[in-house]
Amino acid sequence: MITIQIEREPTQLDRTALTDMIRQFNQQFFKRSPWQPVTVFARDELGSIVGGALGEIGCDWLYIRVLVVQESLRGRGMGSEMLKIVEQEGQKQGCVGVHLETLEFAAKSFYERQGYVIFATQNNYPKGHTRYFMQKLFELSCEAS
């Protein structure tokens, strides 16, 4: 008998099982692409984290989950520098481009200045706000056929 129910506190192992299940299914439609993390940290002189980027590479794309700079240090180019480092890693790994999500009150204009374009929006996420899905394509070298 199969039970279907909400589980409020799933284990990481159970969550990974679902992720692995969908990735295994998807593999039949494109080449095997193991996901690998990309992490950049900005640390102060004491080693405390003052910013960073968390992403992962898979399916020939770099996905940035988090890019943040401590509020008191914003506007000094740290975000741009971290983004540049993450993008370079994506290019080095052969990614087609990079994609991410942001909100209008967060970093939409920052990403636009870095060459990102909106490819989709989600209204009322959260209510009264807009979520933006953005991407930046990398220049790909052409190979002779």
Which stretches of 17-96 are assigned E, i.e. beta strand? 36-43, 49-58, 61-69
Of 3 and 38, which is predicted with more confidence? 38
Map out the domains of the chain with their CATH numbers.
Answer: 33-137 (3.40.630.30)
| Whole-angstrom distance, CA of residue 95 vs CA of residue 34 | 13
Give the phi and the psi of residue 132 in degrees, each rounded to 5: -115, 135
Q: What is the structure's pLDDT at 140? A: 64
Mean pLDDT of the chain: 91
pLDDT of 105-134, one tens digit each? 899 999 999 999 999 999 999 999 999 999
Q: What is the structure's pLDDT at 24? A: 83
